[in-house]
Amino acid sequence: MTRSSQQLWHFHGGLKLDSNKAMSTASPIVKARLPKQLIIPTQQHIGEAGQLLVKVGDKVLKGQALTDCTEYVSAPIHAPTSGHIVEIAELPAPHPSGLNTLCVVLETDGEDKWLDLQPIRHPNTKSPAELRQLIRKAGIVGLGGAAFPTAVKVNPGPESHIETLIINGAECEPYISCDDMLMREYAQELVSGCGIIQYMVSATHCLIAVEDNKPEAISAIKAVIKERALHTIEVVSIPTLYPTGGEKQLIKVLTHKEVPSDGLPSDIGLLVQNVGTAVAVHKAIVLGEPLLSRIVTITGEGVNQPQNMDVLIGTPMSELIEQAGGYHADASKLIMGGPMMGFSLQTDHLPVTKGCNCLLVENTPPAPPATMPCIRCGACATVCPAQLLPQQLFWMASSKNFDLVQDYHLFDCIECGCCSQVCPSQIPLVQYYRFAKTEIWNQERDRIKSDHARVRHDFRQARMDREKVERAEKLRKKKELLEKKKQAEAAQKADGNEAQIDPKKAAIEAAMKRVQAKKAAQKTDSQSSQVNNQAGNDEK
């Protein structure tokens, strides 16, 4: 069903960009060749890496889990095909930092032998919690590029009620067409996946939002919905405007609602999933297949045959470029993602990860920096979809005024790049915001560290103070005791000379007296000697 009257709204700013998508949509999706080796990073998602389940030398089957996730925000990885584990090491992976990641290297055996799968033909016979567990085990993450674990996202918690599920097929970045092609060729699976997610979060509606520059995709999905006579799922054609595909911007366009700055879409009864993720959910549940591959757009003026490929996770990028006819002679830049938000890579000897939607090869050499001072023209503020004042943020970030820059909502910046794109002074604005964010995160970490240190120091100080007091108390008590003893001795002294008599002397004296008494008794009677003896005892 399609509501032709679906009302749409606008978000502030945005840019109309040349889409450049047609170059990669001319041919259908091609299955990429099975490479000799797959390099599968253990960390391809936001959150924690899982615990390794395999060791070097193990033989694994296609679909077998390589890691197990113990943390909540995590996703396991799987063997994309059958073969042997030949290496487990820190290897280069596509990440803006350029740092190495722990990777499992799988030598493929060409048999592509599956693990026993457990498909669920009728997902609604299972509880949402069971399905969530299956999605978690299938290692599904957001395939739009952010790679956030899907199992976490489809579990908004008991307080949130999801009214509408939004399936993001906007794909607003130029050049990228993997979602477009996926919608065209996997419309059945997509609609099925939407239904499963809708069931899991018990959403009453599902809107599949597609930019109006993808009419083929829209009609393909419409046909499936019509064929299945679905009443709660509909396709919405939205105006092509960058960055409509941003989660918050898409929500604004479809519902006029704004996700609170410190909140999540679920706070306003919404859940957004990428079209690729929905297809992955379908595969995980209905076919029982974990996430082993994804559609990657290989495109740009710097590559000979731009196209979309179905690629196993871990395939080296260099092999994909080779299959796409290799580089143009003037290829100058390799970008993972789109031209607006993607990051450029130093080398193509990197594996494709779950979040890798596009490999863009540009042929324009990196321009020499022609940055001029900001002339406060405000073009940046006009296009900012977060309704920020980019030039003010720039002043604050460049003067390292990190308190003020946060007051001007730096952390609402989605780094879409619109401001940099229109800046007449060609200031790399987004770079300044990234710098400021990183600095603030570092400061925050340092602050937490120093807070810990301060607490520790305070404890130590308190302990030392306490000990000091205790020591002083002990000393005082000792002194008191000594004083008492002295006093007692003084009192004894005051009792008289008798007190001074040494007990030994007294004993000797007594003994002497006894002897004398004995002698006397020998002379006199026994009674008088006893009296004498008694007196001697009393003296003691």
Partner 1 sequence: MQFKTATSPHSPQQNSVQTLMFKVLLAMIPGTIAMIMFFGWGVLINIILASVTALSAEALMLWIRKRPIKPYITDGSALLTAALLALALPQLAPWWLTVIGTLFAIVVAKHLYGGLGFNPFNPAMVGYVVVIISFPKEMTQWVPPLLEAYTQLSFSETLRIIFGGELPLTYTWDAITMATPLDTVKTQLGLELSIHEIETHKEYGPMFGAIGGFGWEWVNGLFLATGLYLALKGIIDWRIPAGMIAALLVLSNTFALYDYASFAPPTFHLFSGGIMLAAFFIATDPITAATTTKGRWLYGMGIGIFIFIIRTWGSYPDGIAFAVILMNMAAPLLDYYTMPRAFGHSWTEFPHHHKVDDDDE
Q: What is the C-alpha to C-alpha distance for residues 380 and 385, in angstroms, rounded to an integer?
A: 10
Q: Are strands 100-108 and 37-41 parallel, antiparallel or unpaired?
A: antiparallel
Report in angstroms how near the CB of residue 465 gets to partner 1 at its nearest: 26
What's the min distance (Å) between Cβ of 108 and partner 1?
Answer: 23
Q: Residue written as tokens 């602050």?
A: 447
Torsion of CA 428, 430, 431, 436, to 10 degrees: 130
Q: How far is the CB of 426 from partner 1 (least distance, A)?
A: 5
Backbone angles phi, psi at 350, to 5 degrees: -135, 150
CB of 466: closest distance to partner 1 in angstroms? 29
- Burial-class residue 145 by CB neighbours within 10 Å (0-12, 13-18, 19+): buried
Query: Using CA atoms, how far apart are residues 15 and 71, in angstroms rounded to an integer?
Result: 39
Shortest distance (Å) from residue 13 CB to partner 1: 10
Nearer to partner 1, 116 or 407 (CB): 407
Compute the CA torsion angle 10, 12, 18, 22 (nearest 10 deg). -40
Distance separating alpha carbons of residues 442 and 59, to the nearest angstrom: 42
By beta-carbon proximity to partner 1, the closer residue of 33 and 328 is 328
CB contact at 8 A, 375 and 210? no
Nearer to partner 1, 232 or 363 (CB): 363
* Three-class DSSP category at 477: helix
Nearer to partner 1, 347 or 537 (CB): 347
330 neighbors 350 (Cβ within 8 angstroms): no
Instruction: Return the number of the residue (154 or 360) whose C-beta is nearest partner 1.
Output: 360
- Structure tokens given for 111: 């048999």
Cβ neighbors of 214 (< 8 A, separation 6 or more) are 169, 171, 180, 183
Closest separation in Å from C-beta 145 to partner 1? 12
Q: CA triplet 148, 298, 21: central angle to 5 degrees?
A: 90
Nearer to partner 1, 75 or 380 (CB): 380
Peptide bond into 243 cis (omega under 30): yes
Least distance to partner 1 from the beta carbon of 346, Å? 6
Q: How far is the CB of 303 from partner 1 (least distance, A)?
A: 11
